[in-house]
Structure formats: structure tokens, C-alpha cells
Amino acid sequence: MTHQDLLSIVREYESPIYVYDASKMEAQYKRLSSAFSKVKKVKINYAVKALSNISVLKLLHSFGAGMDTVSIQEVKLALDAGVPAEKIIYTPNGVSLEEIEKAAQLGVQINIDNLSILEQFGTRHPKTPVCIRVNPHVMAGGNTNISVGHIDSKFGISIHQMPHIKRIVENTKMTINGIHMHTGSDILDIDVFLYASEILFEAAKNFKNLEFIDFGSGFKVPYKAGDIETNIEEFGEKLTERFNLFCKNYGKELTLAFEPGKFLVSEAGKFLVKVNVVKQTTSTVFAQVDSGFNHLIRPMLYGSQHEIENISNPNGKERFYSVVGYICETDTFANNRRISEIREGDILSFSNAGAYCFTMASNYNSRYRPAEVLWHKDKAHLIRKRETFEDLVKNQLIFDL
């Protein structure tokens, strides 16, 4: 997508707006599949939570992706996108038994991450094969909010509870057909992945009827030119060797599964905003845009540093800006950033806006959530309309005083 393409999208559909480049998602999908081309059976389940627009799910499914879901609503979105139930895995955390049973009725692969539900589900549905999410007790991930495989994390069943898991499986006669872990996001060091994988292999030996081993996700993507990222190719080579050896010893060709979110969609996304006000203060120059953390919360929540380009004045003289939003609360997108000269009315483009951006958007300050566009084969397709005032009020019931 060129700057001109992006500007024409803003002219047609206005700002703020999310734009996703289909070809980038396809390239990432192919890159991950080819890193594991020497494993006979590989499943890439896209983590729907990263970006759950049905058109995006359809697109990723057309490349061959299955879906990784965490709520019954995500399961329904994936089914609506035409993904067959057997290509959907449901990995909830802390949800009710009723919700898990509903997902099982829809025919998706159930992944359970606590002993209480494992026992209840196994007792009631011994014939439904279940995957187990273990917690390998590994500290991995870009920051504490996204590190989920360590001992204090609420996710997964501790590997130290293996005797208890086995007792439940024996008592209920349920079948464990998969074993899973997800240790965190933005993991850079492939040795951490490989170390955690060894723990998963060890845990897998406890189950005789496995069909797949799911290594979760957490691949780090670059946020700017020259940025560090997970070396997928090297990781592919090393894990392939180890996985194939495990299957040989296990005596069965298992499926190797992953569930990437960021890796597939982060870099494909751009978030386009318009500069409302350029405000000079005694300490900085603020560029105030027609958005805020209601639309893109990652900088405030995770300290993520999205690249920001002034696409309507790309060759302007570079100056330093603090880019902030219009929310009545501190909503800083970037501090002290070198950006080509910003004028009121300019369009700024935020990079890495594909994953955990729109899906985390809200109506805070009673603003509308943005529109979304899919850029596919050099054409813009509107895949979500901007909200309207009716959307804000449609579920409100007016109490008659």
C-alpha cells in the first residue's frame, strides 16, 4: 500500500480508520508454513483475538489457517467466516462449564486449562476428546502483562500437577488428544521457546492418544526498520528436528500446531488519523489527532512504540513531536518523535496496527469505533462501517423519571 493508496482511503471513508494489507498477511502465513515444511502435519491456527473481523478470518482461512478462539463469541465468528468446526480450537481461561459445553456442542476442539473444569467436563462428556493447556513455568514474553507461562500466571495447569491430571483422566475415562502451552507474547529468544518445548514434550509422554502438540505463539515482530524479531526460520529448523524425533519415539505422526496472532496480522495493519491541532507548549509540540486510547490503547497499556509517519507531508523537514489524542485523559501515542513537519489536517499513519488494536477499541468518551478496510489485490474494501450515534444508544433503555 502506498501513501497515495492510504490517503485515498481516508478521502473515501474518512478518519480515523484501520487498513489491513491482505498480501502482508499472506506473506507472513507462507513464511511460517515454510519454516515448518519438513514437518508432515502442521496446523496454523490464527489467534482470532488479535483481529477478529470476519473478512480477515475468511482471508486467513483461504490461506489454510484454522482458528484459535478464546470465547464462544470468537467461535461463532470463526464459524460465520466459514471455518469448519474441526479447524477451530477453543482455549478459554476462567470461563464457565456451560460455555465450554456450548463450544463442544458446536464441534470445536476443546482445550482446558484448569483441573476443576477438566474433572467436570470429563465426567459429563467422557467421549469428547480434550486438549490440555499446561503451564510450563517459564518466564517468557515482552513484558509482565503478556508473560503467561510463569508460576504466578493464571493460565494453564501446572506441569507439577501432572499426577492429578492423570488421575482425572483415568477416573473419567476421557481422552486427551492434544497438549498445549502458550507462554507469552513478544518472545525474542528462540532458546526460551525450545526450552519450554522440551517441558511440553516431557508432559506429552504422559498421554497415549495424542493427535497434536500445540506450541502456542508469542513470536516477536519488528516495529520499525532494523528492529529485532523472532528468527522464525532458525526456530523452524530446530523445532522441526526435535518434533520429528519426538514423533518417532512416540510412534505416531502427530500434528504440530501454532496459534499466532501478531505474527500474521500486526505488520499488515495501518491506523490512519487526522491531525486536529498542533499545539506548541513550553515543553513540546503536541500533534493532537482525531483519536485516542479509545481506538488504539497499546501505547498506553503496554508502552508499545508504533512507528508514526506523516503520509500527507512525507518529505517535510523533520521535527520532534508528542503525538496525543483527543480523549479527556492522558492518551499519549508517542513522545518526542521525529516526524516530518506536521500541519493541522495532515494524515498520520501508525504502523503495526493489525494486532490487538481494533479488537481493543472502545467507545470511551462516547466516540465511535473506527471503520476498517481490507486492501486486497490493489483495491480497498470496506469491511466494517464506522459506528454512528445510533450504535451508541441502541442498547440503552431510557428510564422514565
Ligand X SMILES: Cc1ncc(COP(=O)(O)O)c(C=O)c1O
Interface residues with ligand X (CB under 6 A) are: 47, 50, 68, 91, 182, 185, 216-219, 259-263, 355
218 annotated among ligand-binding-site residues: yes
Instruction: Please identify which residue in the block is written with the cell numbers 474494501.
Output: 381
Nearer to ligand X, 180 or 274 (CB): 180
Q: Choose, from 131, 247, 328, 357, the residue flagged as catalytic.
A: 328
CB 52 within 8 A of CB 74: yes
Residues 354-363 as b/e (b if ≥16 CB within 10 A, e otherwise) read: bbbbbebbee
Nearer to ligand X, 174 or 355 (CB): 355
**Residues of the chain by 3-state class (helix, strand, coil), percent to 5:** 35, 25, 40
Query: How many residues does this entry show for the chain?
Result: 401
Nearer to ligand X, 133 or 369 (CB): 133
Task: Reply yes or no on whether 357 is catalytic.
Answer: no
Residues near 155 by Cβ (< 8 Å), separated by ≥ 6? 93, 113, 133, 135, 148, 149, 182
- The CA distance from 322 to 139, in Å, is 33
Q: How many CB atoms lie within 10 A of CB 330?
A: 10
Q: Greatest CA span in the chain, whole angstroms?
A: 72
Residues near 335 by Cβ (< 8 Å), separated by ≥ 6? 284, 322
- The CA distance from 217 to 243, in Å, is 16
Least spacing, CB of residue 334 vs ligand X, in Å: 22
Least spacing, CB of residue 272 vs ligand X, in Å: 22
329 annotated among ligand-binding-site residues: yes
Least spacing, CB of residue 326 vs ligand X, in Å: 28
Nearer to ligand X, 13 or 193 (CB): 193
CB 312 within 8 A of CB 7: yes
Nearer to ligand X, 149 or 325 (CB): 149
298 annotated among ligand-binding-site residues: yes
Q: What beta strand segments (E) does 169-305 contain?
A: 176-180, 212-214, 255-258, 269-280, 285-289
Least spacing, CB of residue 189 vs ligand X, in Å: 14
CB 46 within 8 A of CB 259: yes
Least spacing, CB of residue 253 vs ligand X, in Å: 24
316 annotated among ligand-binding-site residues: no
Annotated binding-site ranges for substrate: 298, 302, 329, 356
Give the catalytic positions in this structure. 328
Annotated binding-site ranges: 218, 298, 302, 329, 356
Annotated binding-site ranges for pyridoxal 5'-phosphate: 218, 356
